[in-house]
Amino acid sequence: MKKINYNDKGSILNPLKNLQFFARKPITEKLEPRPASASYRGFHINDMDKCIGCSSCQKICDNAAITMVEIPSIKEDAAKGIRNLRPAIDYGRCCWCALCVDICPTSAIELSREYVHVCDGDETDSYFVLPQENGIHGLNFEKGWTKTEDSDLLDRKRRPMGEMEPEERIDNFNEIVDGFTLQMAVEEASRCVDCGLCEDACPAHMHAPNYIRSIYEGNLEQAVEWMYETNPFSHVCGRVCTHICEDACSLGRADKDGNKSSQPIAIRWLKRFAMDGVSKTKIKQIAKKGMARKKSGKSIAIIGAGPAGLTTAFDLVKKGHKVTVYEALPKAGGMTRYGIPNYRLPEDRLDQDIEVIQSVGVEIKYNVRVGIDISMKQLEKDNDAVVVAIGLQNGRSTRVAGSDNKAVVKAVDLLRMIPKGDKFEVPKSAVVIGGGNVAMDIARSLARLQKQQFKKVNVTVSALEALGTTFLADDEEVKESLEEGIVILDSRGPRECVIDKTGKLESLHTVKVESIFDEQGRFAPKYDESDSQFHPCDMVVEAIGQMSDVPILGDELTEELEWNRGRMQVDENGATSVNWLWSAGDMVKGPDVINAVADGHRVANDIDKYLK
């Protein structure tokens, strides 16, 4: 570099040297639109199909430039987490910082390589834009600033959940999942963008964003308060919920290659963490909030002390009515007690949920069988309304040859015996027919009992569906079953339970499944009869579905009610065709705790309205 000293005077001729510039060719920049640099922050482009309307862009926008607009032509799908809201940008406010791009959970919103938008004074409406794929001027400019792994502002990885090792857990019914520590729970909660897609997806519309926020703030009591607004089975749901919310979570979307590298918030485990962190006494106080001061003087009978029945009872008691719950078994909880093994849901957690429900004034009469110990007629006479919430207690049978053998049992019956302490002969080897979560529950329970008695697991699951694609059970259930030494034979259909001459079960005969549904999507499995196998076993367990024990209603009432394919016909509030009778839970909605809870709320509201 040439040095210039302070005292240099310079010359008056020096600037004249630049006259040479007159001889140079001038540089001309054309005024036609040209694309800006490859990562330019130009105007917004929004992929309307990828956008789910979570409104995270609106929250991060530092200039309040984004308005969420409802587009009726977009179909909402709460269970998949899709809303018909899409962002519209006010370019009078936008500062092109691209934080909306960097936070977008689905990478739907991006910026183009377009420089300029010009308009006349009376065209200011053109500043308010609903961005779509083709850009602000419809010119399909290339993409500029898009999200990269570096610029992504969201934490895509779930905090890992600790689990008992397979060899540690296989000979007992202790709970497998460790649960979060405070640190992990707060970190997991901090990932939430508070879009509320989970709340819309949840059948009971649990206020998940609110309780996640409370957990993030370390206020577990407030979190539990949010939960009890919608769910008195929060301990149960914190452990065994089917977590539809997590499928809808905006963070759980697959990326453009279909990889699920982004993991949804562990909403279920967070709920479990908050519930475990608050004392029973405190939860009882929380549950009492919002109790009606005045008694209504009306009384309601509820048949079945499962989640649906008890939720209905809980709500109705809080509204000032008198409620009596009739339960045929010695303890409450229904399928959550007599269907879900302890290693998934420890009994004391369930006991606590029920204790809290009782503490608000719900009365439960145990070992009372309606239809035998007390008649429907009597219940109708003594009460202003009756709710049937008896669930699906009877197992379905495959009805293949030999399935009437005494060594062929139903999963629900067997599962019920374990918590009741009923003795039965544990088979040295067993085959389970079915591929759903119930099949996994019984397979894994049997495996544990075998390990305890024979030190050896010998359970085979035979399912129609194919692993990894159509399989019904949760991925984690499959993974854990395999870890525990259970053999899963997928795409196999049962043909016969082979019985030897002495009447003893010998084996299960299966054939290969070619397809499960026909072209109209109806259940009509097709088999390849040439591929057949025999699985020797001491017991066959059928876990292919359940049905209701409807005969308890009595002939007269059954006649009076309307039915739909074996299920009681109810309206959207659970009201049957008989004006004093409602029905709730699995028997009308299919097997799922959170749906049962949601149903309970609906029925309770409807009854309350009816009684007024």
Which one of 48-56, 401-409, 436-444, 491-499 is the stretch in contact with another protein (CB under 8 A)?
A: 48-56
Q: Select the residue interacting with another protein from 46, 56, 107, 312 (CB under 8 A).
A: 56
**Single-letter residue type at 178:** D
Q: Select the residue interacting with another protein from 141, 145, 173, 228 (CB under 8 A).
A: 145
- Kindly report the number of other CB atoms within 10 A of residue 457's CB atom: 21
Q: Select the residue interacting with another protein from 194, 247, 351, 483 (CB under 8 A).
A: 194
User: Which CB, 38 or 466, lies closer to another protein?
Assistant: 38
- Give the contacts of 80 (CB within 8 A, at least 6 positions apart): 247, 248
* 598 lines the binding site for another protein (CB under 8 A): no
* 139 lines the binding site for another protein (CB under 8 A): no
Crossing angle, helix 280-288 and helix 220-228, to 10 degrees?
A: 40
User: Which CB, 127 or 610, lies closer to another protein?
Assistant: 127
* 148 lines the binding site for another protein (CB under 8 A): yes
13-32: contacts with another protein (CB under 8 A): 14-15, 17-18
Structure tokens that stand for 612 in this block: 């007024």
Pairing relationship of beta strands 322-326 and 430-433 according to DSSP bridges: unpaired
User: Look-up: residue for tokens 């926008």?
Assistant: 61
Which one of 120-128, 330-338, 458-466, 600-608 is the stretch in contact with another protein (CB under 8 A)?
A: 120-128
What mask of x and - would describe binding to another protein in positions 467 to 506, judged by CB under 8 A?
A: ----------------------------------------
**What is the C-alpha to C-alpha distance for residues 288 and 285, in angstroms, rounded to an integer?**
5
**Smallest gap, in angstroms, from Cβ of residue 127 to another protein?**
7
Residue 442 · residue 413 · CB < 8 Å: no
User: Which CB, 91 or 338, lies closer to another protein?
Assistant: 91
197-226: contacts with another protein (CB under 8 A): 197, 199-200, 205, 207, 209-210, 213, 216
User: Which CB, 73 or 281, lies closer to another protein?
Assistant: 73
Strand runs labelled E in 43-119: 44-46, 66-70, 85-90, 109-111
* 359 lines the binding site for another protein (CB under 8 A): no
Residue 59 · residue 99 · CB < 8 Å: no
- Give the contacts of 304 (CB within 8 A, at least 6 positions apart): 325, 326, 327, 328, 334, 388, 389, 390, 391, 585
Q: What are phi and psi of 455, to 5 degrees?
A: 65, 15
Residue 399 · residue 313 · CB < 8 Å: no
Half-sphere exposure of 380 (CA within 13 A, CB side): 12
**Smallest gap, in angstroms, from Cβ of residue 420 to another protein?**
41
* 183 lines the binding site for another protein (CB under 8 A): no
Q: Select the residue interacting with another protein from 60, 426, 487, 611 (CB under 8 A).
A: 60
* 64 lines the binding site for another protein (CB under 8 A): yes
Structure tokens that stand for 216 in this block: 């993030």
Q: What are phi and psi of 359, to 5 degrees?
A: -65, -20
CA-nearest of 134, 135, 116, 136 to 126 is: 136
Which one of 127-135, 439-447, 469-477, 574-582 is the stretch in contact with another protein (CB under 8 A)?
A: 127-135
User: Which CB, 151 or 359, lies closer to another protein?
Assistant: 151
* 1 lines the binding site for another protein (CB under 8 A): yes
79-98: contacts with another protein (CB under 8 A): 83-85, 88, 90, 92-93, 95-98
User: Which CB, 22 or 523, lies closer to another protein?
Assistant: 22
* 247 lines the binding site for another protein (CB under 8 A): no
**What is the C-alpha to C-alpha distance for residues 472 and 545, in angstroms, rounded to an integer?**
12
Which one of 71-79, 237-245, 274-282, 288-296 is the stretch in contact with another protein (CB under 8 A)?
A: 71-79
Which one of 170-178, 185-193, 465-473, 534-542 is the stretch in contact with another protein (CB under 8 A)?
A: 185-193
User: Which CB, 207 or 318, lies closer to another protein?
Assistant: 207
**86: enclosing H helix or E strand:** strand 85-90
* 190 lines the binding site for another protein (CB under 8 A): yes
Q: Select the residue interacting with another protein from 193, 220, 313, 581 (CB under 8 A).
A: 193
Half-sphere exposure of 432 (CA within 13 A, CB side): 30
**Smallest gap, in angstroms, from Cβ of residue 114 to another protein?**
13
CA 348-350-356 angle, to 5 degrees, is 100
DSSP letter at 497 equals E
Residue 198 · residue 249 · CB < 8 Å: yes
